[in-house]
């Protein structure tokens, strides 16, 4: 009985997964707290501070870590905590079924984290000016930090601002899909299905409202139509020719055994004869 309990509670595979998850979550939480509570007045990598108390919630170490991250990566440093959190969750799920700590999926996901952070830094360096405040961003001279500024300079030189932006957006999408396991095609299909369902729902509501109005005796609004007896000139000529046309002789079927009834042939009365008869 004790052996069974030990087998359930103490499994090396689950222990490894739990340690990886809790360790990464702890590091991500501390790093994110240092970034979100960053203050330019705190002493750090690029500034000595103003000599007052440390305002960073992570303490002096957090102030140095946040200032160095902003100096190196710029605004791309703020993409590190969410990406590492997704990476930790994916590794936790994988290690519950796989004993290997490092494999191909581990390398792909960690590469996705690095690629996302660098791409965000490049986008920030291209499209955002450096703030005029003390701290890492102003010291590096770019909103993307040193890494973003170096990469953006080369990419804009050879690809242009628009080409570099498109390439970085594509890298962000690819890297995010590699880390999170999200399929963009499945997401687009889901969004399209939702839009289609919404349109069908609205159409059904309009149809039900129209049926309810007809049942209650309320006629739906109609566009007024104007009727006229105007006949085009070419139609008048065709009608007159049809009235003046002579009668056509009937067709006799010589192969039929029944006698054919021939209608008497009538000839049209000329207009002059009709007028003379009317005078008499």
More confident site: 142 or 151:
151
176, 170, 165: which is closest to 112 by C-alpha? 176
Summarised one tens digit per residue, pLDDT across range 86-144 is 888 888 777 777 667 677 888 888 899 999 999 999 999 999 876 655 555 665 567 88
**Backbone phi, then psi, for 47, in 5-degree steps?**
-145, 150
Considering the chain, what is the average pLDDT of its residues? 77
Residue with tokens 């170096």: 150
Summarised one tens digit per residue, pLDDT across range 66-82 is 989 988 998 999 999 99
Q: What pLDDT sits at residue 147?
A: 92
Tell whether 213 is covered by a domain: no
Show the domain range for 58: 9-186
Tell whether 127 is covered by a domain: yes
Tokens of 91: 């590794």
Tell whether 252 is covered by a domain: no
Query: What confidence tier does 163 reach under pLDDT thresholds 50, 70, 90?
Result: very high
How many domains, the chain? 1
80, 91, 85: which is closest to 114 by C-alpha? 80
In this structure, of 44-48, 49-53, 165-169, the range with the lowest mean pLDDT score is 49-53
Question: Distance (Å, rounded) from C-alpha 38 to C-alpha 68?
Answer: 11
Tell whether 51 is covered by a domain: yes
Question: Distance (Å, rounded) from C-alpha 265 to C-alpha 99?
Answer: 108
Query: What is the average pLDDT across 238-264?
Result: 56
Question: Distance (Å, rounded) from C-alpha 112 to C-alpha 181?
Answer: 11
Are the C-beta atoms of residues 266 and 247 closer than 8 Å to each other?
yes
Query: What is the average pLDDT across 267-277?
Result: 60
Q: What pLDDT sits at residue 160?
A: 92
Query: What confidence tier does 242 reach under pLDDT thresholds 50, 70, 90?
Result: low
271, 274, 254, 270: which is closest to 262 by C-alpha? 254
255 pLDDT exceeds 80? no
**Backbone phi, then psi, for 247, in 5-degree steps?**
-70, 145
Are the C-beta atoms of residues 42 and 55 closer than 8 Å to each other?
yes
Tell whether 279 is covered by a domain: no
**Backbone phi, then psi, for 84, in 5-degree steps?**
-65, -35
Tell whether 119 is covered by a domain: yes
What is the maximum span of the chain, computed from C-alpha positions, in angstroms?
136
Tell me how far CA of residue 184 lies from CA of 99, 115, 175, 180, in angstroms: 30, 18, 12, 11
In this structure, of 51-65, 132-146, 177-191, 195-209, the range with the lowest mean pLDDT score is 132-146
Question: Distance (Å, rounded) from C-alpha 117 to C-alpha 144?
Answer: 10
Are the C-beta atoms of residues 79 and 176 closer than 8 Å to each other?
no
pTM recorded for the entire structure = 0.63
Tell whether 262 is covered by a domain: no
33 pLDDT exceeds 70? yes
Helices (H), 128-144: 136-140
Summarised one tens digit per residue, pLDDT across range 193-237 is 889 888 888 888 888 877 776 776 555 556 556 555 555 665 555
Question: Distance (Å, rounded) from C-alpha 9 to C-alpha 201?
Answer: 51
Residues 6 or more apart whose Cβ sits within 8 Å of residue 35: 66, 69, 70, 77, 78, 81
């Amino acid at each position: 009985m004790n052996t069974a309990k030990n087998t359930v509670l103490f499994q090396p595979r689950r222990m490894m997964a739990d340690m990886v998850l809790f360790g990464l979550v702890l590091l991500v939480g501390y790093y994110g707290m240092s970034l979100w509570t960053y203050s330019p007045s705190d002493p750090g990598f690029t500034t000595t501070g103003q000599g007052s108390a440390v305002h960073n919630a992570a303490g002096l170490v957090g102030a140095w870590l946040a200032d160095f991250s902003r100096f190196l990566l710029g605004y791309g440093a703020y993409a590190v905590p969410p990406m590492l959190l997704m990476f930790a969750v994916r590794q936790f799920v994988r290690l519950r079924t796989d004993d290997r700590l490092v494999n191909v999926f581990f390398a792909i996901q960690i590469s996705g984290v690095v690629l996302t952070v660098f791409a965000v830094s490049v986008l920030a360096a291209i499209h955002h000016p450096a703030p005029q405040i003390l701290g890492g961003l102003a010291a590096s001279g770019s909103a993307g930090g040193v890494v973003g500024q170096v990469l953006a300079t080369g990419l804009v030189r050879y690809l242009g601002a628009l080409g570099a932006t498109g390439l970085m957006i594509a890298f962000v999408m690819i890297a995010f899909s590699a880390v999170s396991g999200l399929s963009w095609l499945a997401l687009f299909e889901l969004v399209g299905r939702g839009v289609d369902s919404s349109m069908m729902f609205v159409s059904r509501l309009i149809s039900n409202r129209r049926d309810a109005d007809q049942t209650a005796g309320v006629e739906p609004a109609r566009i007024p139509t104007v009727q006229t007896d105007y006949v085009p000139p070419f139609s008048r000529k065709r009608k007159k020719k049809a009235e003046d046309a002579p009668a056509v002789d009937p067709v006799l079927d010589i192969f039929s055994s029944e006698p054919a009834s021939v209608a008497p042939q009538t000839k049209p009365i000329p207009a002059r004869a009709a007028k003379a008869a009317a005078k008499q």
